[in-house]
Structure 1
């Protein structure tokens, strides 16, 4: 899956599609009539509570009782109740406990809730690596929210897509990803966020990812939404992994002229099919310079913001 295709997929999620399937709310324990549901393999099933009402455990157990979940390939987990106070460990436990009921599961989104349900930086997460241990055939894992998030190093043979959306991604998670062995991973996207919301990763924490030794199949790298985007751009300019990427995203952050200049002064980027720099603080001359230097690359320079050296902001924080 390349960057453009995945951007379409993210947009599709907002429009009611996930992993190429229409999103359907899983029947809850209070749903009397379960007639008329689609075939299990024909939907991306969403489990989650609306406005903290109900019991997610009861709903989940009802779902696995009335739907043949052995044919479910895509699952979306929304709010697990008071998600700003209670972490995701209970739903992670339910999924791992019932892993044998989901042998066909290939795509999983944990924490896919709107800001009305819970602001992204208030979502209380937990250790999500038990999901990878329980689902060895999983190909796509996406997690929203960084508070309390843990990702100790793992090995997983089949994961192709790994995404973390946050207003502040802990440095320990970044290091955990870099120290993991993910031989099939093609697409990695990290929303690094800001220090005020726990985004304390430094360029040094990105070292293993940028080295790429444990990511032999990686074709897209997104290091996004960062308040140190200039420093990241400078590190990417000499990173070994870049030579084998097809698409690269340094979008959504505080990228300015210094970062763009460092990027252009480093290793060649003309092999890329796409470079995403949207939401940036470049001056008009630098926008023109980037476009001219990478004339054969699809470069997204949309979302130009004021090139203020003293006050920049990233796209997603709270």
Structure 2
């Protein structure tokens, strides 16, 4: 119950406010007197807190200051982060977690929240109704839901409510945050991305988060994601299905090898239902991979270390359908070659794989020799060998073994080092081969580079 005083000229007044659930009591008058008292009631605790905060702001603007010995309301107390007032029902949350696409689960939870005076219940009702409606009715319901999100922004987003939209961007579904992207917007940004990630994952509104994207963490120095991974490893989010670490434009925002993904192995236990994982940057460590539900894995790098290549090859990906690796340049930490990925070419651990991208590699010609005999080839629908060091020599090998690749829906050899003659040879294989946008071949192995290094 903070006590404020106003002393100026002949004025000597006090003002006090006490917040309690869905009501607050104010007391005011001349210092030294009992003063007057008034209690105001609201439909819920969030409304009461919003008006409570508004009155404090008005009084301080007029010159009222905290009396001696008084402390300002803390973040988890009056005047601070109202997300701490959120109502929770573990049993109903468990039902949604079990079947996160079932609208009925959200509607039941929404009814319960409304009975508790929690405005999230109304948001759930509006967004579920919009999902089931169409045309003008759906548009109107979505408009009402957006207005409600704006009205209760501080409550729904907590400490993230005041962050710029280009730094913290969230998408809503059935009353909860479904997707989020976090990143520093520019060089002047003061956003602590790892801390913002922690705050997001702690929000009741993010209880059923499905997609998370992390962009730039640091424009000033080198862009390390270790802090983000540590923040994520401290949380549990069984509903998260899509994670992208390293969503930045290169080279405009930073070079791809000036960003460091580091060790991602602590994430496996936090997100057991992860279906899509994309990483962009260098210094990747993966340890023993344990992502049994993963369908897509992509690493875009100027140099994937040998240790990470070995982790990828040794991984047991029972449901993986798409695998894409940008190997990069030895000058930027890349390690490994055809021999190191032979277990993958033999199809070990990837029974469901349909798309294989062995991109940005310095050993593309050697791959062309190994692929026709690779056991994995027969189960693939698409094969991507782009951005590497494929020359006319490798193209000749592919052409000589054309029968091994005829079943593919697409074979991509773009952004390599093919001459016009080499491109013609690829074009002769059929329309399923993409072969354009080639880079210059300087004719010397030491002068041949992958498309993305630095």
Q: TM-score range by the shorter chain?
A: 0.7 to 0.9
Q: Secondary structure at the match of 1:134?
A: coil
Identify the structure with the greater helix proportion: 2
Selected match of 1:96 from 233, 237, 248: 233
| Kept after mapping to 2: 8 A contact 1:27/1:59 | no
- 1:63 matches 2:63: no
Per-residue deviation, residues 51-110 of structure 1 (Å, max 9, x unmatched): 3623224322332355611232111011233685463222112112112xx332111001
Name the counterpart of 1:190.
Answer: 325
Selected match of 1:277 from 413, 419, 444: 413
TM-score for the superposition, normalised by structure 2 = 0.59
TM-score for the superposition, normalised by structure 1 = 0.82
Tell me: CA distance 1:312–1:86, structure 2 relative to 1, closer, same or farther (3 Å): closer
Corresponding residue pairs, total: 288
| Kept after mapping to 2: 8 A contact 1:220/1:247 | yes
Q: Secondary structure at the match of 1:71?
A: coil
| Kept after mapping to 2: 8 A contact 1:230/1:258 | yes
Name the counterpart of 1:204.
Answer: 339
CA apart distance, 1:248: 0.1
Measured in 1, the distance between the counterparts of 2:449 and 2:163 equals 49
Name the counterpart of 2:440.
Answer: 306
The Cα RMSD (Å) is: 2.6
CA apart distance, 1:277: 0.6
Name the counterpart of 1:137.
Answer: 273
Q: Secondary structure at the match of 1:95?
A: helix
| Kept after mapping to 2: 8 A contact 1:29/1:58 | no
Q: Secondary structure at the match of 2:287?
A: coil
| Kept after mapping to 2: 8 A contact 1:282/1:305 | yes
Tell me: CA distance 1:201–1:59, structure 2 relative to 1, closer, same or farther (3 Å): same
Give the stretch that moved more between structures: 166-175 or 79-88: 79-88
- 1:53 matches 2:186: no
Give the stretch that moved more between structures: 32-41 or 245-254: 32-41
Name the counterpart of 1:232.
Answer: 367
Measured in 1, the distance between the counterparts of 2:393 and 2:228 equals 44
Bigger CA radius of gyration: 2
Selected match of 2:380 from 242, 245, 255: 245
Q: Secondary structure at the match of 1:133?
A: coil
Name the counterpart of 2:172.
Answer: 39
Name the counterpart of 1:11.
Answer: none
Per-residue deviation, residues 265-302 of structure 1 (Å, max 9, x unmatched): 3461000000011112222232222222x22x511111
Measured in 1, the distance between the counterparts of 2:326 and 2:268 equals 20
Selected match of 2:245 from 106, 110, 113: 110
Measured in 2, the distance between the counterparts of 1:28 and 1:221 equals 42
Measured in 1, the distance between the counterparts of 2:204 and 2:247 equals 21
Q: How does 1:23-38 map to 2 (within 5 A)?
A: 29=159, 31-32=161-162, 38=171
Measured in 1, the distance between the counterparts of 2:448 and 2:425 equals 21
Structure 1: which 5+ residue stretches go unaligned? 1-25
Q: Secondary structure at the match of 2:356?
A: strand
Structure 2: which 5+ residue stretches go unaligned? 1-155
Per-residue deviation, residues 13-49 of structure 1 (Å, max 9, x unmatched): xxxxxxxxxxxxx969464389996415676311122
